[in-house]
Chains A and B, each alone.
Chain A
């Protein structure tokens, strides 16, 4: 936050200072998060769930107060490390990528602001503070997407992103307010009376909010709606693909690692709230989530996964394919959370962050190499020109598809599939997820074949990106492979860490019959997808002019997929149309109704003025003037008496004397 503030003040030319400042501050925060992680580890080693909170009163009105605060617990620690580490790599990468851009400092200012806000979301203890950082994240995503504001498409995309996320945030805010009104506090954990602690949860559970949902469930769903907006789940995902307009590091940062993860993190954070509804309730318990809220989350997640995967298949823009794959992976995470609880979902989030970041940065270096060319049909044969990028990109692709054993993607996706399998209530999501995995494998191979295999279809020869860009790729590739180990069923370190249990190494869980079957099916699915993809695009590299191979075979399916299943159009038709119509209605009302009222009032006043004038003329003036005239005449009469003729006075005097005398005598007559 501080870094972004300072960079904002810097002028354009201080490029060096801006970048070093941003990277320095993020590096520093990475260091801090390591320390925190170590601290939590130590705590965890003693076998207790570490949760330290710091909270202070921010607003005091009346006797109720709004408190803000920070919390450090395993969930937060993991996210801290992941966000700052990935962020740091992306910062370094973007130094190279944005080298020739003139608003370099401004870019880094937004980046550091984004990172600061993201870290704020992760460690905040109060729902309100979380919401504030959430809003800043939304803002920075708008700024970064619309970074090249000259391009109208970028500006439109930024606006679109902002509005759709904002749409989700409305529900999020409603949830906050409702929670605040019920529990009286927004702090998650506050020595027992925090909103997520059993005491207030018990209160929430008892209230019924209709539709069979308990208050807790309802609030959970509202907050989940916020997450849907931010993470681009099914109804509100339209903004995410368009967000590719921004520079690649941005897309990487936003759509791979952090921002989208924020949604999932939020659901994870308020998981106890959502799970409160479930009859068999145990915190962080494995697949016992049968509360209504969680089922909803699961269904949304699964639907998004399949839906996005379908669209990804028919995309030609390299970044757009990755965007849709992110959406579907998020669907996976949501489903994981819904089914398997916090640990399963979070593990997939961590692994996905690394290899998706890798893929995006790889795409970035490809685009950089191909002189800003983004359409995969005009690339091909980059295996030769950009060998390092190709290798790292291939590793990332395999991790994403969930290539068995070696790649982290496999283990985290399996965890989700396992949870889906075991969930007692609903069977549907499992099959959807499996189908999704197939599709993922398919479109990733299609992309790799288009980009790296075959021959160069672009106008100018591509060249390898400089060291500063390829180094992060290599690091990320390493993690994409290594990270799987911490979450394997054999040694579920990550899950234990999150739940605060001791992680014991047990091979037998691996060879447990059910799990083996699951591993076999998923690997089968992956191989199926890869083969399918290779067969279509592998051998004969597609000609630029020819339509896509799949397109030839299944044109009726291809067209809608390419057009993103007309979701935008659908929205266009419904929501926008609705707004337009509503605008017209409002205008009509405004002009007719209010105008009418104003006219009426005007008419009344005119009438009143008229009345006043009449009143004034014949009453006030008339009356007043008449009396004045009478007075003056009377005055005139009197004045004539004072005529100055002395003898008049004498006469009056005499008459008066006579009159008095007469009266005197008359009255005193005996």
Chain B
């Protein structure tokens, strides 16, 4: 059957697609953020898969990259959700379709 790496890559791709779909389809802002988190995780999976089945695993690049990406994603999630909360407090809605006014 497919080689292990391909499997992981396919899973990552699917997960990425699901994340993107979620971000595009759902109406609520938080779910868009969740979608984005999923996409980031899919990317991490890819990284580690490549690291694991890549030519020089001892170089640790893949894994390190993944770790750093996790840290960054966490930071991003924090700020994103902070923003959503701030927007909510201001406009009393988390519906993305309604939040399209640029006015302060």
Please say whether the chains A and B touch (CB closer than 8 A). Answer: yes
Chain A residues within CB distance 8 Å of chain B: 643-647, 650-651, 654
B20 x A654 contact (CB < 8 A): yes
A122 CA to B68 CA in the complex, in Å?
A: 123
Q: Are B20 and A646 interface neighbours, CB within 8 A?
A: no
Q: Find out whether the CB atom of A645 lies under 8 angstroms from the CB atom of B100.
A: yes
Q: Known contacts A645-B96, A646-B32; is A651 also within 8 Å of B101 by CB?
A: no
Closest approach, in angstroms, between the C-beta of A15 and any C-beta of chain B? 98
- Chain B contacts with A in 88-104, Cβ cutoff 8 A: 96-97, 99-102
Once the chains are docked, how many angstroms separate the CA of A654 from the CA of B36?
13
Q: Which chain A residue has the least Cβ–Cβ distance from B21?
A: A654
**By DSSP majority rule, is chain A's interface helix, strand, loop, or mixed?**
helix
Q: Which chain B positions have C-beta within 8 A of A654?
A: 20, 24
Q: Is B23 an interface residue (CB 8 A)?
A: yes
Q: Which residues in window 60-104 of B have CB below 8 A to A? A: 96-97, 99-102
Max chain A C-beta neighbours (<10 A), residue from B24, B101, B102: B24
Seen from chain B, the residues whose Cβ lies within 8 Å of a Cβ on chain A are 20, 23-24, 29, 32, 96-97, 99-102
Q: How far is the CB of B87 from chain A (nearest CB, A)?
A: 11
Ranked nearest first, the 10 interchain pairs of A and B with the lowest CB-CB distance are A644-B100, A645-B100, A643-B100, A646-B96, A647-B24, A651-B24, A650-B23, A647-B96, A650-B24, A654-B20
22 contacts between A and B (CB under 8 A): A643-B100, A644-B99, A644-B100, A644-B101, A644-B102, A645-B97, A645-B100, A646-B29, A646-B32, A646-B96, A646-B99, A647-B23, A647-B24, A647-B32, A647-B96, A650-B20, A650-B23, A650-B24, A650-B32, A651-B24, A654-B20, A654-B24
Q: Which residues of B contact A644 (CB under 8 A)?
A: 99-102
> How far, in Å, is B84 (CB) from chain A's closest CB?
11
Which chain A positions have C-beta within 8 A of B100?
643-645
What's the least CB distance linking A288 to chain B, in Å?
117
Chain B proximity of A650: nearest CB distance (Å) = 6
A645 to B102, CA, bound (A): 10
How far, in Å, is A653 (CB) from chain B's closest CB? 9
Give Cα distance in the complex from A651 to B35, angstroms. Answer: 13
Q: What are the residues of chain A within 8 A of B23 when measuring CB–CB?
A: 647, 650
Please measure, in the bound complex, the distance between the C-alpha atom of A654 and the C-alpha atom of B25, giving whole angstroms: 13
Alpha-carbon separation in the docked complex, A651 to B96 (Å): 14
Q: Which residues of B contact A643 (CB under 8 A)?
A: 100
Contacts of A647 in B (CB 8 A): 23-24, 32, 96
CB-nearest residue of chain B relative to A644?
B100
Which A residue sits closest to B100, measured CB to CB?
Answer: A644
In the bound complex, CA of A80 to CA of B104 (Å): 108
Chain A residue contacts of B101, Cβ below 8 A: 644
User: How many Å from the CB of A474 to the closest CB on chain B?
Assistant: 120
A650 to B26 CA separation, bound complex (whole angstroms): 12
Residues of B within 8 A of A651 (CB): 24
Specify which of A643, A644, A645, A647 lies most central, judged by the most chain B CB atoms within 10 Å of its CB.
Answer: A647
Q: Complex formed: what's the CA distance from A503 to B102 in Å?
A: 126
Complex Cα gap A651–B25 (Å): 10
Residues of A within 8 A of B96 (CB): 645-647
In whole angstroms, what is the CA distance A441 to B24 when docked?
Answer: 139
* Chain A residue nearest in CB terms to B26: A647
Q: What separation, in Å, do the CA atoms of A647 and B32 have in the docked complex?
A: 8
Which residues on A sit within 8 Å (CB–CB) of B99? 644, 646
Docked complex Cα distance between A474 and B14 (Å)? 150
Give complex CA distance A644, B101 in Å: 6
A513 to B20, CA, bound (A): 153
* B102: A residues at CB distance < 8 A: 644
Q: Complex formed: what's the CA distance from A651 to B23 in Å?
A: 9
- A642 CB to closest chain B CB (Å) equals 9
Closest-CB distance, A414 to chain B (whole angstroms)? 125
Hey, which chain A residues are within 8 Å of B29, CB to CB? 646
Q: Which residues of B contact A645 (CB under 8 A)?
A: 96-97, 100
In the complex the two chains form, what is the Cα distance from A524 to B87 in whole Å? 143
In the assembled complex, the Cα of A546 lies from the Cα of B100 at a distance in Å of: 127
Bound together, the chains give a CA A382 to CA B2 distance in angstroms of 165
A159 to B26, CA, bound (A): 111
**Nearest Cβ on chain A to B15's Cβ, whole angstroms:** 15
Query: Nearest chain B CB to A284's CB is how many angstroms away?
Result: 114
CA of A530 to CA of B75, assembled, Å? 149
Given the complex of chains A and B, what is the CA–CA distance between A654 and B100 in angstroms? 20
CA distance A650 to B32 in the complex (A): 10
Beyond known contacts A644-B101, A646-B96, A647-B24: 16 more, CB 8 A cutoff? A643-B100, A644-B99, A644-B100, A645-B97, A646-B32, A646-B99, A647-B23, A647-B32, A647-B96, A650-B20, A650-B23, A650-B24, A650-B32, A651-B24, A654-B20, A654-B24
Q: In the docked arrangement, what's the CA distance between A647 and B36, Å?
A: 12
Residues of B within 8 A of A646 (CB): 29, 32, 96, 99
Shortest beta-carbon distance from A645 to chain B in Å:
5
Cα distance, A646 to B24, chains bound together (Å)? 9
Q: How distant is the Cα of A66 from the Cα of B99 in the complex, in angstroms?
A: 96
Q: How far is the CA of A646 from the CA of B101 in the complex (A)?
A: 11
Closest CB in chain A relative to B31 CB, distance in Å: 11
Closest-by-CB residue of A relative to B101 is A644
Max chain A C-beta neighbours (<10 A), residue from B29, B97, B101, B102: B97
CA–CA, A193 to B86, complex, Å?
112
Chain B residues with CB under 8 A of A650:
20, 23-24, 32
| Shortest Cβ distance from residue B62 to the other chain A in the assembled complex, whole angstroms | 22
Give the Cβ gap from A126 to chain B, nearest Cβ, in Å: 94
Cα–Cα, bound, A650→B24 (Å): 7
- The closest CB in chain A to the CB of B102 belongs to A644
Query: Cβ of B32: which chain A residues have Cβ within 8 Å of it?
Result: 646-647, 650
How far, in whole Å, are A381 and B45 apart by their CA atoms in the complex?
Answer: 158
A647 CA to B96 CA in the complex, in Å? 8
Bound together, the chains give a CA A654 to CA B20 distance in angstroms of 8
Report how far A654 CA is from B102 CA in the complex, Å: 23
Question: Who on chain A is nearest to B20 by CB?
Answer: A654
Report how far A650 CA is from B22 CA in the complex, Å: 11
Cα-based distance from A646 to B87 in the complex (angstroms): 13
| B72 CB to nearest chain A CB (Å) | 19
B80 to chain A, nearest CB (A): 11
Instruction: Find the A residue at minimum CB distance from B36.
Output: A650
Minimum C-beta distance from B89 to chain A (A): 18
Docked complex Cα distance between A645 and B97 (Å):
6
Q: Nearest residue in B to A651 (C-beta to C-beta)?
A: B24
Q: Which residue of B lies closest to A657 (CB)?
A: B20
A648 to chain B, nearest CB (A): 9
Expressed in whole angstroms, the Cα–Cα distance for A654 and B39 within the complex equals 12
A646 vs B102: C-alpha distance when bound (angstroms)? 12
Report the minimal beta-carbon distance from A417 to chain B, rounded to whole angstroms: 123
In the complex, residue of chain B having the shortest beta-carbon distance to the beta carbon of A654 = B20
A137 to B97, CA, bound (A): 106
